[in-house]
Structure 1
Amino acid sequence: MGHLCKLIASVFIVFSLTGCVKKEILDDISLIEGIGFDYIDEKNILGTVVIPVYLPDEAPRNNIYSAKAEIKKSILQDIQQQTADPIVTGSLSVVLFSKKLTEKVGILPLVDPFQRDPGVGSGLYLAVVDGETKELLGGQYGVRGNATYISKLMEHNIKHEDLPKTNLQLFLADFYQEGKTPYIPQLKKIGKDKMKINGISLLKYGKIVDFIPSEEMFFFKLLVDKYSEGLHKVEIESGGEAAVRSIHSSHKYTLTKREPTEITIEIEVDGIINEFTGQELTPKKIHELQQQFREDIQKECLKLIQRFKDKEIDPVGFGHFVKTQTRNFDVKKWRENHYKDLVVKIKTDVKISESGVIE
């Protein structure tokens, strides 16, 4: 009897608490899944939202709404006047900024409301668009809605390709972290139903200051993230090109000297050759491929690091790393003096095994 009373009391409490929560019926609200911002002038932007309409036995229809607003004011109020149901941001998965807007105004005034909105998840993807976000969001991509397509594109390229981990939480962590330059991917529309990640935008105080094209993203990811899967092509002088797949990588930073600061980066890469264009793939060829891959990594990574130093940006996070190794770290001195004199050495261990189709 005592157990029955406890059960009844528990059920009563649950229903009492449930009655205190604001209820929203999905059929009576408009769920925003994607939003984009385009530049109009120094004070005004054009905001565009994607609200999917789910139909039985059909792909969702992408309803697109746009409104002009001042940069520091929300566009949602104006867009709300165009929709029949209340707008909700709980399903928001992507926020896009046109390249022009990011260069002229910066994204910080627009990112701030999303970090304050309790309905927005920290896994939200941010991206720059080479072109207008309204045009990109107005395309037809896949069968699950445009915003879902973009978020899946990001997810796939993080897990299997050359895009380092990125989302709202990581962007804000890099922005507020002393000694680190934040970055987000850049998208480009390449057809009515196609888009691609064509590089990575590096941001300083919310504005684009540099751009890593797609052909350099592999080496950038080796420096800032790790591969669980991946692909890279290696060409050798004696003839032949190998597609190295299933790449696994890791890196380790060591502070090896002070005044001037010297950091050694150890990069380990494991991969499998499953395509080779050339003559017989002998052990000698595999050794040559490993050596060439090692040299490519050292050369391209050091080239990127030198470029970052010349532009006085630090997307790798050397400043943050040195700060963790230094008592009473002075970030001002680091930026003004020590970073430009930083010496970086790269040690690379590449292991490649033979497997798959040889052409």
Structure 2
Amino acid sequence: MKKTMILCACLICLAGCADREVIDEIQVVNSLGYDYNPDTKKVRGTILYPIYKYGPTEEPSIIAANAKSAFDVPLQLNNKSSLPIAFGQLRSVVIGENFAQHGVDELVNILARNPDLGRNIKLSIVDGKAHELLSSVTKKKIKDYQFISNLIEQNIRTENLPNTNLQIFLFSFFSDDRDAYLPLLTQDKDAIKLKGLAFFKGKELATTVGIKETFLFKLLTTGTKHGRYGVKIKENNQRGKVILQNLRTKTTYELKGDPHNPAIITHVKIDGLVKEFPSWIDLTTSSGIQLVEKQLKNDIETNGNGFIKKLQEKKIDPICFTDYARSKTRHFNSQEFKAKYPNMNIKVKAHVHLIQTGISN
């Protein structure tokens, strides 16, 4: 009984030590943006937060401030806010293109060491300025302070975007044998849309790719149960386009050669559904199905090989071929493998099987 009373007293004391925050007395931040001005060498931080009005209505608003570094941004933002800024409900961090090219190491360390931030925060790169993109959220066309995090989440779940969040990014960023990636967003007037992926070489932005290559990246890494892939198809003088709805994929790697001359084959097995196809193709016949399967296979292999070659030219390895080779090689020499990587023979072998052919118009 005495021990129980002591335990209860300790719990009461611990509860009393916690800081209490009233929702009406703090500025709850949902999105945070960073831009870099190379002329002034200053960082501009922008926060997006909801203003709660009477009833269930919410109005997104922004505050922006300039600072000498990313570390000083919260202080400068607090100086312009009527309420203390709280980042505990942060859902997305948007990084301007100039900031990413300048280097994100300082920002990454801030995010990694902040215990108030969740590991599921969605990070993204903006094809332009983060301030302008967050400003567009306050316009009449969007008016949703959770739009950016929801946009990324649903594209991971239902479309071509590979899984990504703060934890996944940090794991790749601090790894010696893989390179990090983030979703690439763009602004179209007052609309925001997913443009593709941005890849990093160390702390700096290395290159970006479009939606088609984003799907190929997802195919070559985690696979997907959804996503769409369009390919132009032809036979004799007839032309058209086929849209493949990916249903199931299985990606495996095969290490060939020897440690001094390694080669990798990426096997991609796709069981897919054709959503759209030209009327001159008869998918009720085996010849029609084989025609589509063959041209889909050739297109995925050609574009997949071209995509990997682009990564090799930039000397980046977000697909993690280095990690795979390490797992299959005794006394693996990482530096030797990386030196060979830009000129290494890495090929994609696609195996396409149409399990459904949808409905033709």
TM over 0.5: yes
Post-superposition shift, 1:339?
Answer: 1.3
SS of the equivalent of 2:155 reads: helix
Residue in 2 that maps onto 1:309: 312
TM superposition shift of 1:257: 2.5
Residue equivalent to 1:242: 242
The alignment partner of 2:358 has SS state of coil
Residue 111 of structure 2 corresponds to: 114
Matched, 1:135 2:132: yes
- Give the Cα separation in 2 of the matches to 1:30 and 1:172: 27
Q: Which moved more, 1:238-247 or 1:44-53?
A: 238-247
Q: Which residue of 1 aligns with 2:65?
A: 67
What's the counterpart of residue 84 of structure 2?
86
Choose which of 270, 281, 284 in structure 2 pairs with 1:282.
284
The answer as to 2:229 corresponding to 1:232 is yes
Match of residue 55 from structure 1: 53
Distance in 1 (CA, whole Å) between partners of 2:187 and 2:82 is 30
8 Å Cα contact 2:43/2:68 also seen in 1: yes
- Could you tell me whether the CA contact under 8 Å between 1:179 and 1:319 is conserved in 2? yes
Residue 183 of structure 1 and its aligned partner are, at CA, apart by 1.1
Percentage identity across paired residues of the two chains? 27
Residue in 1 that maps onto 2:358:
356
Deviations 1:278-298 (A, max 9, x none): 234332212211111111111
CA-to-partner distance for each residue in 1:133-152, whole Å, 9 max, x for gaps? 11110113777733x11011
Mean CA deviation greater in 304-313 or 5-14: 5-14
State yes or no: 1:330 paired with 2:327. Answer: no
TM-score normalised by the chain length of structure 1: 0.90
Give the C-alpha shift of residue 46 in structure 1: 0.9
Task: Say if 1:235 and 1:289, in contact at 8 Å, map to a contact too.
Answer: no
**How far 1:30 sits from its partner (Å)?**
1.1
What's the TM-score, normalizing by structure 2? 0.89
Q: Which letter maps to 1:220? A: F
1:120 Cα offset (Å): 0.5
The number of residue pairs the alignment matches comes to 352
1:320 aligns with one of 310, 323, 326: 323
Taking the TM superposition and a 5 Å limit, the aligned residue runs for 1:137-216 are 137-140=134-137, 145-146=144-145, 148-192=146-190, 194-216=191-213
Measure the CA separation in 1 of the matches of 2:350 and 2:253: 12
1:182·1:202 contact (CA, 8 Å) conserved in 2? yes
AA partner of residue 255 (structure 2): L
Distance of 1:265 and 1:355 partners within structure 2: 26
Q: Offset at 1:233?
A: 2.1
CA-CA distance at 1:12 after TM superposition: 6.4
Where do 1:2-41 residues align within 5 Å? 15-41=12-38
* Paired residues of 2:160 and 2:226 also in contact (CA < 8 A): no
Structure 1 residues without counterparts, runs of 5 or longer: none
- Residue pair 1:276, 1:357 contacting (<8 A) in 2 also: no
Deviations 1:286-330 (A, max 9, x none): 221111111111111111111222221112111121122223322
Cα shift readout 1:201-229 (whole Å, capped 9, x = no counterpart) = 11112212211122322212111221121
Q: Is the 8 A contact 1:47 1:68 kept in 2?
A: yes
| Alignment check: 8 A CA contact 1:260 1:341 kept | no
Alignment of 1:250-289 (within 5 A): 250-258=250-258, 259-279=260-280, 280-283=282-285, 284-289=287-292
Structure 2, unpaired ranges of 5+: none
Q: Distance in 1 between matches of 2:221 and 2:126?
A: 22
CA distance in 2, matches of 1:344, 1:309: 9
CA 1:228 to 1:55, structure 2 compared with 1: closer, same or farther past 3 Å? farther
**Could you tell me how far apart the structure 2 residues matched to 1:57 and 1:351 are?**
53
